[in-house]
Amino acid sequence: MRAKIIGTGSYLPPKIVTNNDLAKTVETSDEWIRERTGIEERRVTDENTATSDLAVEAAKKALSAARLSPEEIDLIIVCTCTPDMLFPSTACILQDKLGIKNAAAFDLSAACSGFNFGLAVASGLIENGAYKNILLVGADTLTKYLDWTDRGTCILFGDGAGAVVLTATDKEEGVLRSYLKAEGLFGKYLVMPGGGSRDPEAKNGRQIRMAGKEVFKFAVRVLEASVEKILEIAKLTPADIDLLIPHQANIRIIDHVAKKMGLSKEKVYVNLQKYGNTSAASIPIALDEALKEGRIKSGDLIVLSGFGAGLTYGANIIQW
Ligand code: COA
């Protein structure tokens, strides 16, 4: 038994914040941000919108594309590091909003690596026969946790949600292999310190703190390593990849890895110029857009690969 994606959907909040908008409040410029990250603009939620509000829109589109009714979903996984609240989980809130009755639901926390971790978990649960139809969502609203005076972080992130519906298939297609890894000793390089049980009143702040250079070095190393590893596990080579969908964090990280692997621009999907880094939503949004732009066809080999706080990283290889 394998798990196959039969529907995708994505949702971005309407408000656009451009690099020039940011340059009005912090010492930066459109030119610097484009050159050092590739980002041109990002989407930002308003104060009344929470992660589940984005997730529900993406999920509805994925369900409709999959031609499944809510009753047919038997598990919901929401990958997020910005849940609506500590509990109930955002997955349970989403379940209620979608009117899904016959399902289990839980959140998965692996920050920007969330979707790759979620896809590995969901496909494993389908492969072992525990579930048939799974709604898997990556959704985050990291802009709510930015220090808008820190030019090293506030330029990078945006909000969004992406969703897929997975179903069981007995054909040799869908998610073929997964590879997940964490290096907790580097966790200190990307932290949101306040709000958890160590500091419930968030005396240490509820804003993202990042050692940009360290995370950059880590990202370059592990993006390449995770693609190499997943190819090795699947007994494939870079030449077999039809499309690489990397985590959309920084164009320099993506270009470096594409060059090392000998992948041409046509074989690497990039949309970070429009949305910045949307955390767990970045890969499912990119997958949805790549599909709608005709960049993926039946039988293609797609590699999803990313990294995030933890520090974590991983990859999945899919036969479409
Ligand atoms: N605008 C203008 N100048 C900026 C700036 C900005 N937004 N941010 C930093 N700078 C300055 C720095 O202060 C530094 O100035 P100095 O030389 O006078 O000290 C200079 O630019 C170079 O800073 P540096 O940190 O070396 O820049 P960089 O090329 O490493 O780019 C990041 C910074 C954050 C863009 C980059 O490190 C990065 O993308 N890291 C990975 C982040 C990431 O992906 N995080 C999410 C993981 S899921």
List the residue whose alpha carbon is closest to atom 47 of ligand 1: 308
What one-letter code names the amino acid at 174? G
Q: What pLDDT shows up at residue 188?
A: 97
The structure tokens listed for 272 are 């970070």
Pick the CATH number of 175-319 from 3.30.565.10, 3.40.50.970, 3.40.50.12280, 3.40.47.10: 3.40.47.10
Pocket (CB within 6 angstroms of ligand 1): 28, 32-33, 36-37, 112, 151-152, 155-156, 210, 212-213, 215-216, 219, 249-250, 277, 307-308
pLDDT at 180: 98
CA of 212 to the centre of ligand 1 (A): 6
Q: Cα–Cα distance between 315 and 296 in angstroms, integer?
A: 18
Active-site choice (112, 116, 133, 154): 112
CATH code of the domain made up of 2-171 = 3.40.47.10
The reported pLDDT for the residue numbered 70 is: 92
Q: Domains of the chain: which residue ranges? A: 2-171, 175-319
Global pTM value: 0.97
Q: Look up tokens 């370059």; give the residue.
A: 220
Residue nearest to atom 44 of ligand 1 (CA): 249
**Tokens at residue 78, please?**
């929401």
Pairing of strands 243-246, 301-308: parallel
256 is a catalytic site residue: no
What span, in angstroms and rounded, lies between the C-alpha atoms of 299 and 200? 49
Task: Identify the pLDDT of residue 247.
Answer: 98
Q: For the residues of the chain, what is the DSSP string, one character each? A: -EEEEEEEEEE--S-EEEHHHHHTTSS--HHHHHHHH---EEE---TT--HHHHHHHHHHHHHHHHT--GGG--EEEEE-SS-SSSSS-HHHHHHHHHT--S-EEEEE--GGGHHHHHHHHHHHHHHTTS-SEEEEEEEEEGGGG--TT-TTTTTTB-EEEEEEEEEEESSS-EEEEEEEEE-GGGGGGEE--SSSTTSTT-TT-SS-EE-HHHHHHHHHHHHHHHHHHHHHHTT--GGG-SEEEE-SS-HHHHHHHHHHHT--GGGB---HHHH-B-GGGHHHHHHHHHHHTT---TT-EEEEEEEETTTEEEEEEEE-
The pLDDT of residue 124: 98
Average pLDDT, 10 consecutive residues per value, the chain (320 residues): 97 98 97 98 98 98 96 97 97 98 97 98 98 98 97 97 98 96 97 94 93 96 95 95 98 96 96 98 98 97 97 98
State which ligand 1 atom lies nearest to the alpha carbon of 247. Answer: 48
**Closest of 320, 19, 254 to residue 154, by C-alpha:** 19
pLDDT, tens only, 253-310:
999 999 999 999 999 999 999 999 999 999 999 999 999 999 999 999 999 999 999 9
CB 7, CB 64: distance < 8 Å: yes
The pLDDT value recorded for residue 289 is 98
Among residues 38, 283, 246, the alpha carbon closest in space to that of 155 is found at 38
pLDDT of residue 123: 98
CA distance 222 to 313: 7
Q: How much is the pLDDT for 27?
A: 96
Tell me which residue has its CA closest to atom 36 in ligand 1. Answer: 212
Structure tokens at 180: 């997940």
Residue 112 annotated to the active site: yes
Distance from the alpha carbon of residue 286 to the mean position of ligand 1, in angstroms = 24
Predicted pLDDT of residue 134: 98
